[in-house]
Amino acid sequence: MAMVFCRACAKEIHETAPICPQCGASQHVARAAPADIDSPWLAIVSLILGIICILTLIDDSPWDRSTLFGMSIFSVASLACGIISINQKRPGNNLAIAGVVLSVIATLCFAGLSLD
């Protein structure tokens, strides 16, 4: 079985021990998730990028190739952020799903426009 060292007194303890049997120090800090795992920023980024793509699609001003290329990158980035957020079970799951749906729609539209 795997052993780790107590964070307080450095005595060897089992890795799943919640507290050190020697000094009683909590060992939870070692297994805490990264600070940003609880934040919904990826989902929000996904949704914002998705909305920008959709707004660009609705806007009927003429596009050149570089605009189309730029918006394709936006939609792929939105898709990636949303999928990562959902995979990591971050908060803001609904936002991430909305972002993914919008970016998939946008990607399909951009792909269709690119073929013209």
Residues 39, 91 contacting (CB under 8 angstroms): yes
55 is a contact residue toward Zn ion (CB under 5 A): no
Looking at the Cβ atoms of 20 and 47, the one nearer to Zn ion is 20
Residues in CB range of 19: below 8 A, 6 or more apart = 25, 26, 27
43 is a contact residue toward Zn ion (CB under 5 A): no
30 is a contact residue toward Zn ion (CB under 5 A): no
Q: Which two tokens stand for residue 16?
A: 């799943």
d(CA 50, CA 1): 47
d(CA 27, CA 102): 42
Using the contact rule CB under 5 A, the part of the chain among 19-27, 37-45, 49-57, 63-71 near Zn ion is: 19-27
Q: Which of 14, 15, 17, 23 binds Zn ion (CB under 5 A)?
A: 23
Partners of 19 in the β-ladder: 26
Kindly state the smallest distance separating residue 5's Cβ from Zn ion, in Å.
Answer: 9
Looking at the Cβ atoms of 17 and 37, the one nearer to Zn ion is 17
- Footprint on this chain of Zn ion (rule: CB under 5 A): 6, 8-9, 11, 20, 22-23, 25
